[in-house]
Amino acid sequence: MNYKNNSFYLILEVLYGHLTDLLRFLWQKKNQVLAIGFIVGVFLSFFFLGGAYVVWSGEETRVHKSLEKYRSEVSNFYDSFQPKSVKILDRSGKVMGEFYRRNFRPIRTDNLAKHNVIVWAVLSSEDREFFSHSGLNYTAIMRAVVTNLVQFRLSQGGSTISQQLAKLTLNLGKRNLFNKLTELYCTFYIESHYSKEEILAMYLNQIFLGEGNTGVEEAARYYFRKPASELSPEEAALLVGIIPAPSVYNPVRNLGIALSRQKRVLYDMARNPELHPSQKDIPVKFSDSIEVNLKRFRTIYKVKESKDEDGNPKYSSEIGKYGADKDFRVNLAPDFNSEIRRFILEKFSNEDLEERGLLVYTTLDLEKQRFAEDALRIGVDSVRSDLSKQESEYQKKGKGDLAEVTRSILPQLSGSMISLDPETGDVEAMVGGYKISNVFRFNRAEEAKRQPGSTIKALVYALAFEKRIVNPSSKIKDEKLDISGYSPKNWYKGYKGEITVRQALAQSVNTVSVKLLHEVGISYFIQKLSAILSIPEEEAEQRFQRNLSLALGSGELSPMELSVIYATLMNGGRRVTPRKIIKITDMDGNEFYNTVPNEAAEQILDPVACAMAINTLQSVLTEEGTMTLKRKEGEPFLYAGKTGTVQSPKLKSSKWKGIKGVRDVWFAGLTPRNVTVVWVGHDEGAPFPGSGSGVSGGIWYRYIQNVKSKLGMGNQLVPSFVGDFVKVDVCADDGTLIENHPDYVCKVPLFAQYYYIGDLPPKRNGFNKSDPQPNMITQPNLTEEDDSEISTYETDGSKVQPTAVDSVELEPPLIDNRRVRYNEETP
């Protein structure tokens, strides 16, 4: 480029002359200190200008190429090339998702006139002197400087549309003086090479407007389901209000703030009618009708305002209700596909996405996905039915306030489910919420962190086995504890006395878990947790407070994270990294990206301890455990798992008015080559009837029975490994070795159980043919007030024993639900 023909070069030349005259004047007045300071200042200024120019010189070719592509899009001779799609395939090659980077024609110079409303809004809010300045608006810059100095913070900018386009094209990252100067060179380049109409059209196509939307055309379709040319002033104002901070001002995430911005932009439009490209098209008495039109807008999009527990305003609407699927032609696994799409958009350039047809080979099994969705929906519907009955009971008893609260809980009850292969880390099914929605989806399977309750006990026991503190047959006492003032309660009344470790986990005895964590050490527990979850220890220390209630699940985990913990146990203690994408190719088979399964992973836990933990978790699903699975005689028992329930605190003054119930129910289930975690709850922690075994356990069992009957299941629960172990047959009644003796009686025999060499179960002293052994656990006597985790399932998945509320009572977590939206659609 010839900068001598550029206005910016001329400005620098004139500025240089003035600076020389000023320096000569200061020196003649013998004010050398001021002159030297002035020289240093000038030197630094030219240093930054020169450095920025060097950066710009290196970026100019790339910027030119991008801008020319943008110009081809906005020119009158636009090539109506149809961009190619990205196809998402499940593990068997079925197309389960297909989307386009963009499947519509962008705004062009020849159709700008059809977009008068959005142009009016943009110019009024972002750059009122756009058609008169040459790239910089010095008045706006000075106004912004004064405002920022008065407010002592960067509250206002003075960027023109040309500057914003330069910033978008350069994409230098951090905001600093150096980058701003580089953007300045780019701004003058843009102004000197393109017409104002081209710059405006390019800007309208490239500006980011939140929720993954680039350009006003894409955003208009996302938020309002219409092309940008059909936007009303209110709709256009809402879009333009997003521009300064898309993550803060977009209406899906922060509707209240977005509505305030919308009003501000509308009044800016009213004050600048001359910026409307076609004066005759301005609505009559536009300024006087803003409030009336805003009310109509809120009615159309069903904007509702309510108060949260602290009295702060809370909003909901149908803005963006159908947005998430706007780019998908096929979308059979919305939560999973959304994650894949996000990755693709970050990994590949716009050019790649539009010019190449990509095939994304994933780990998802579409049949398992359907089983998971059906099981979760049936399970959540069951709880909703119970809530509905509860509401009716309150109405009959004249407790209208409780009935109203229960009615408000019912529609927002949700759940999530994650199913993966522990050996490879492959995610085979993922359901992020009960409802299938096209609005912004909160993927609870990966993003929601909740207290896991008793499901965390599996890791506590594995660490206790690894440290040789106990083995499954060790005797341990269930008794009242007081460890530095901490005294955990059991979910049943009283204490069982001396029992085996296997029985303690089977019956989810809280005191024993706390004892074991105390012996293992909280520091060691957090260290192993950070290694398993692949997070820094500093982060783990912040997330998991150092207290013994961690043994009962007081830390917060997402369903995905809990599945990784259980997958690590199933993978012989080796690190498991969840995997969703196998490879990405184009239509011709050229490979651009690939991953390898969980090979040569770091050994975090001892494999023998992991095998012992899995054996012990099998007991949870036998007659001695909290969730009995009835099985046919002689059938191998290839199931293990753990229930988990977190009790809702009994607070009369809470927004739930003291309604009894639980706030989180979990189940982590293990079968050959599979770990599945189920969570059911309310995003704000509202109480509801249920338990880990009765609700989440039932969902898991329905899912796994479908998988087993229709797809098949392996025949080895604990994978083969090399280690210091022996396998023996054990009687779960009392933890003794099963002996070949005519008088030996065992009600719950367990075969091929793992133990460390030299740490075997004891032999039984004497035999009894009929009476249960003194150490054999029995179910406690329950009253209506008692807590219970017990449920029984037949082999067909039906529950034959009613379940009461189970539980661990923990301090309520701080639930951040700002990203959760409740205008989801039932499938």
Q: Would you say 676 and 392 are in contact if contact means Cβ atoms under 8 Å apart?
A: no
| 803 pLDDT above the threshold of 90 | no
* C-alpha to C-alpha distance for 501 and 16, rounded to whole angstroms: 84
Count of all residues that appear for the chain in the document: 827
Q: What is the pLDDT of residues 666-688, one digit of tens each?
A: 999 999 999 999 999 998 888 89
Give the model's pLDDT for residue 811: 62
Distances (CA, A) of 651 to 320, 554, 586: 36, 18, 58
* Residue owning tokens 């499954």: 472
Q: Which residues contact 619 (CB under 8 A, 6 or more apart)?
A: 502, 503, 505, 506, 625, 732, 748, 750
Q: Residue 665: which of 682, 649, 653 has the closest Cα?
A: 682
Q: Residue 669: which of 713, 723, 729, 730 has the closest Cα?
A: 713
Q: How many CB atoms lie within 10 A of CB 771?
A: 8
Half-sphere exposure of 559 (CA within 13 A, CB side): 32
* C-alpha to C-alpha distance for 690 and 383, rounded to whole angstroms: 7
Q: Would you say 497 and 476 are in contact if contact means Cβ atoms under 8 Å apart?
A: no
Give the model's pLDDT for residue 167: 86
Give the model's pLDDT for residue 691: 86
Question: Bigger pLDDT: 404 or 463?
Answer: 463
Half-sphere exposure of 329 (CA within 13 A, CB side): 12
* Residue owning tokens 């029995």: 778
Whole-prediction pTM value? 0.71
Q: What is the pLDDT of residues 587-646, one digit of tens each?
A: 889 999 999 887 668 999 999 999 999 999 999 998 888 888 887 777 788 999 999 999
Q: What is the pLDDT of residues 643-662, one digit of tens each?
A: 999 987 766 557 788 888 88
Pair of tokens at residue 421: 């292969």
| 716 pLDDT above the threshold of 90 | yes
> Rounded to the nearest 5 degrees, what angle is found at the Cα of 233, between the Cα atoms of 232 and 239?
90
* C-alpha to C-alpha distance for 483 and 76, rounded to whole angstroms: 78
Q: Is 142 exposed, middle or buried (0-12, 13-18, 19+ CB in 10 A)?
A: exposed
Beta strand segments in 511-661, E: 581-586, 591-594, 627-629, 640-647
Q: Residue 253: which of 663, 681, 816, 682 has the closest Cα?
A: 816
pLDDT band at 788 (very low <50, low <70, confident <90, very high): very low
Strand partners, 89: 95, 361
pLDDT band at 342 (very low <50, low <70, confident <90, very high): confident
End-to-end CA distance of the chain: 58
Give the model's pLDDT for residue 785: 35
For 285-302, b/e burial (b = at least 16 CB within 10 A) is eeeeebeebbeebbeebe
* C-alpha to C-alpha distance for 245 and 228, rounded to whole angstroms: 20
> Rounded to the nearest 5 degrees, what angle is found at the Cα of 405, between the Cα atoms of 403 and 407?
70
Pair of tokens at residue 112: 């700008």
Distances (CA, A) of 278 to 120, 366, 767: 9, 52, 99
How is residue 697 annotated by DSSP? Answer: I
| 249 pLDDT above the threshold of 50 | yes
Percent of the chain with pLDDT over 70: 77
Q: What is the pLDDT of residues 757-784, one digit of tens each?
A: 989 999 988 765 444 444 434 444 433 3
Q: What is the pLDDT of residues 522-555, one digit of tens each?
A: 999 999 999 999 999 889 988 898 899 999 999 8
* C-alpha to C-alpha distance for 328 and 441, rounded to whole angstroms: 14
For 233-247, b/e burial (b = at least 16 CB within 10 A) is bbbbbbbbbbbeebe
* C-alpha to C-alpha distance for 329 and 97, rounded to whole angstroms: 7
Distances (CA, A) of 12 to 4, 41, 50, 423, 577: 10, 16, 12, 65, 56
Give me the mean pLDDT over the 237-256 stretch: 91
Q: Residue 460: which of 396, 520, 536, 400 has the closest Cα?
A: 520
pLDDT band at 133 (very low <50, low <70, confident <90, very high): confident
Residue type, 55: V
Q: Would you say 140 and 120 are in contact if contact means Cβ atoms under 8 Å apart?
A: no
Q: Would you say 807 and 695 are in contact if contact means Cβ atoms under 8 Å apart?
A: no
Q: Would you say 156 and 167 are in contact if contact means Cβ atoms under 8 Å apart?
A: no
* C-alpha to C-alpha distance for 398 and 718, rounded to whole angstroms: 55
Give me the mean pLDDT over the 322-336 stretch: 77
* C-alpha to C-alpha distance for 269 and 287, rounded to whole angstroms: 9
C-alpha radius of gyration, the chain, whole number: 33
Q: What is the pLDDT of residues 499-514, one digit of tens each?
A: 999 999 999 999 999 9
Give me the mean pLDDT over the 34-51 stretch: 54
Give me the mean pLDDT over the 460-466 stretch: 98
Question: Bigger pLDDT: 197 or 807?
Answer: 197
Instruction: Spell out the domains of the chain, with CATH numbers in brackets.
Output: 417-434+443-583+593-809 (3.40.710.10)
* C-alpha to C-alpha distance for 176 and 183, rounded to whole angstroms: 11
